[in-house]
Amino acid sequence: MKKTFDANARALPHVQDLHAYVPGEQPQGEGWIKLNTNENPYPPSPRVAEAVSAEVAQLPRYPEPVSEQLRTVIAERFGLTAQNVIIGNGSDNILDLITRCYVCAKGAGHTVPSYSLYPVVAGMSGKGMIDVPFSRSMELDVEAMVAINAPVFFLTSPNAPTGVAFSLTAIEAVLQRIDGILVVDEAYVDFGGETAVALLQDYENLVVVRTFSKSYALAGMRVGFGLASAAIIGMLDRVRDAYNVDRIAQVAAQAAFEDIEYFESQRQKVITTRASTLTQLDRLGWFTYASAANFLFTEPQNGAGESGAAVAASLFEHLKQAHVLVRYFPAHPLTCSFIRVSIGTDAEMEAFLIAVTSWLNHA
Ligand SMILES: Cc1ncc(COP(=O)(O)O)c(C=O)c1O
């Protein structure tokens, strides 16, 4: 007789209640213009392919467990020591390590809207979130961030999905006044905004999180890193999987990181295309937040000059029919009348704008 097992009922209560993170669509077929998950439209540095193929012969061996070499080159670039750096299987891994170490039953703080993975990561540890809502201006509410007194506060700067970057003055004001850890998630900072790295020397309660997925064009490789005091890094290392970053990922990230010239030129291309795309959206009269990231968060208006959730949803669907994927966040009043468009190549942005024009002519 078949033995049954109620996998749902037997899971821990917080896992039963968990909703898995829903990433942006990753269509597998050809012919899509993919502007929905803030990836880099350009290939990574050619040095990545060389480093990866040279490493293949080493694959029978386990990777170096702490990614020491990568920690060292990153530390040197930021004027830190390897003890101030931890490497993750994507920056999502770093966010999880921080949560495992420091988020108590009270839950973690975050601004709303921001990166929707934070609640998922907290939920996996059986913890909740304390919301600090934005208003439409998207300015940081320092008082509210301080008032919730969270053990860990996740701040995305530049923010997602808006692209709005926060000033170092505001970030420092938070650091001075909170008792817990401030995590500044700088996934997009290479495209604009001020980095909080310089504040690490004065604030032991700061963790800066970065990723290779966006500006280094390595989303498929899954490498991110955290910068913090040696004491915090030491704690994160205690809960890290022994081999959390594979051999190929370690050498690929290092090769991309060290090819500064290539990095600079690709970064500048994205910034230039962002500016030209914004000019086009401005011409349409759409409101778009000032973006320091590799995406634009814009509020479409239809041919009749109307905006709102139905208008944004209609554009999203029209673009999808045209095989142009952007991101739509219908669940929140501050996001439901907007779409988020990742910055692709000039040709991809042109195709996006052509599809927008055809929507305007039909909507
Ligand atoms: C704000 C923010 N942080 C972190 C990440 C995840 O980066 P990674 O690919 O390094 O896990 C993303 C990805 O979209 C993001 O938007």
Q: How many Å lie between the centroid of ligand 1 and the Cα of residue 220?
A: 12
What separation in Å is there between the alpha carbon of 118 and the centre of ligand 1?
10
Whole-number Å distance, alpha carbon 234 to ligand 1 midpoint, is: 23
Strand ranges of the sheet holding 85-88, from the earlier edge strand across to the other edge? 85-88, 224-227, 206-211, 181-185, 152-156, 108-112, 129-133
CA distances from 334 to 221, 295, 318 (A): 33, 17, 22
The pLDDT of 189-200, averaged and rounded, is: 97
38 lines ligand 1 (CB under 6 A): yes
Q: Using a 6 Å cutoff on CB, does residue 211 contact ligand 1? A: yes
| Confidence band, pLDDT 50/70/90 cuts, at residue 219 | very high
41: number of Cβ within 10 Å: 21
Split at pLDDT 50, 70, 90, the class of 320 is very high
Average pLDDT over residues 347-361: 97
CA of 93 to the centre of ligand 1 (A): 10
Ligand 1 pocket check for 224: Cβ under 6 Å? yes
pLDDT in tens, 34-55: 999 999 999 999 999 999 999 9
Classify 330 as helix, strand or coil. coil
Could you identify the residue written with the tokens 């991309």?
256
158 lines ligand 1 (CB under 6 A): no
CB atoms within 10 A of CB 194: 18
Domain residue ranges in the chain: 7-42+261-362, 46-259
Out of 18-27, 46-55, 175-184, 231-240, which region has the weakest mean confidence (pLDDT)? 18-27
pLDDT at 270 over 90: yes
pTM, 2 dp: 0.96
Q: Are 269 and 42 in contact (CB under 8 A)?
A: yes
User: Averaged over 169-195, what is the pLDDT?
Assistant: 97
Q: Is residue 115 within 6 Å of ligand 1 at its C-beta?
A: yes
Domain 46-259, classified CATH 3.40.30.10, yes or no: no
Q: Which atom of ligand 1 is nearest to the CA of 224?
A: 10
Cα separation, 55 vs 72, whole angstroms: 19
**Average pLDDT value for the chain:** 96
Exposed, middle or buried by CB within 10 Å (0-12, 13-18, 19+), for 113?
Answer: buried
Q: What is the pLDDT of residues 85-105, one digit of tens each?
A: 999 999 999 999 999 999 999
Per-residue pLDDT of 99-150, as tens digits, reads: 999 999 999 999 999 999 999 999 999 999 999 999 999 999 999 999 999 9
Q: What is the pLDDT of residue 264?
A: 98
**Confidence bin at 27 (pLDDT 50/70/90):** confident
Given this model, what pLDDT does residue 6 score? Answer: 96
H/E run at residue 134? none
Q: How far is the CA of 111 from the centre of ligand 1 (A)?
A: 16
For ligand 1, is residue 219 a contact (CB within 6 Å)? yes
Which of the following CATH numbers is that of domain 7-42+261-362: 2.40.40.20, 3.90.1150.10, 3.40.50.1480, 3.40.50.2300?
3.90.1150.10
Q: Average pLDDT in the 335-361 region?
A: 97
350, pLDDT greater than 70:
yes
Q: Are the CB atoms for 220 and 189 separated by under 8 Å?
A: no
Residue 363's pLDDT band, with cuts at 50, 70 and 90, is low
Distances (CA, A) of 265 to 49, 52, 215, 271: 18, 22, 11, 10
- The number of angstroms, rounded, from the C-alpha of 345 to the middle of its chain's C-alpha atoms is 20
Closest CA to 174 of 214, 140, 200: 140
Range with the lowest mean pLDDT among 25-39, 117-131, 255-269, 300-314?
Answer: 25-39
